[in-house]
């Protein structure tokens, strides 16, 4: 019986000895850095069909909280802010028109749209939150019919922040 207890103890010892290096490796492995929160503000340029500013910047992986404010006072247009994949401008504006007013001029579920706000009227503010995509330049547009041709800007996404 003593020999049996000793054999079990040797197995337990062998298992413990084998698992220590694995545990140490797990403790020293690098984990992805936590997303850095970034607040961005974009507004309409009064009653003009333009965004202000036209350029925004963040880093890949940042947790972006974008506030969009409609500063118009006289013209009763609705606007939104829609971040799209590069090279999809024509397709997204066509899809937005096809989506129609009932869907807020937004092709819901379209994978070419990375982030968006709902439509808002003059004097209103809306907020959206998203994780910044990989480093590149991305257009943001208003998908209300006819607005995207002049109401656009660029989100410059820089490489991930180093840890």
Tens digit of each residue's pLDDT, the chain (163 residues): 444 444 444 544 444 444 444 444 444 445 556 788 999 999 999 999 999 999 999 999 999 999 999 999 998 899 999 999 999 999 999 999 999 999 999 998 999 999 999 999 999 999 999 999 999 999 999 999 999 999 999 999 999 998 6
Tell me the torsion sign for CA atoms 75, 77, 80, 86. Answer: negative
Q: What is the pLDDT of residue 163?
A: 67
Residues forming a β-bridge with 68: 42, 126
Q: What is the pLDDT of residue 31?
A: 58
Q: What is the pLDDT of residue 23?
A: 44
Q: What is the pTM of this model?
A: 0.79
Radius of gyration, alpha carbons of the chain: 25
Q: What is the pLDDT of residue 35?
A: 81
What SS3 state is found at 90? helix
**CA within 13 Å, CB half, 56:** 27
Distance CA 81, CA 104 (A): 12
User: Which is it for strands 63-69 and 125-131: parallel, antiparallel or unpaired?
Assistant: antiparallel
Instruction: Provide the 8-state DSSP code for 72.
Output: -
């Amino acid at each position: 019986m003593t020999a049996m207890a000793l054999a079990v103890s040797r197995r337990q010892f062998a298992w413990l000895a084998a698992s220590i290096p694995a545990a140490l490796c797990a403790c020293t492995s690098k984990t992805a850095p936590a997303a850095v929160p970034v607040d961005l503000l974009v507004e309409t340029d009064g009653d003009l069909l333009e965004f202000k500013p036209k350029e925004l910047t963040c880093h890949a992986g940042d947790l972006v909280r974008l506030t969009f404010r409609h500063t118009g006072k006289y013209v009763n247009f609705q606007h939104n802010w829609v971040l799209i994949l590069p090279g999809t401008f024509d397709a997204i504006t066509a899809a937005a028109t096809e989506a129609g007013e009932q869907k807020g001029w937004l092709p819901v579920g379209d994978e070419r749209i990375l982030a968006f706000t709902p439509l808002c009227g003059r004097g209103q503010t809306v907020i959206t939150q998203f994780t910044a995509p990989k480093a590149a330049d991305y257009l943001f547009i208003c998908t209300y019919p006819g607005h995207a041709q002049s109401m656009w800007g660029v989100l410059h996404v820089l490489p991930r922040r180093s840890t």
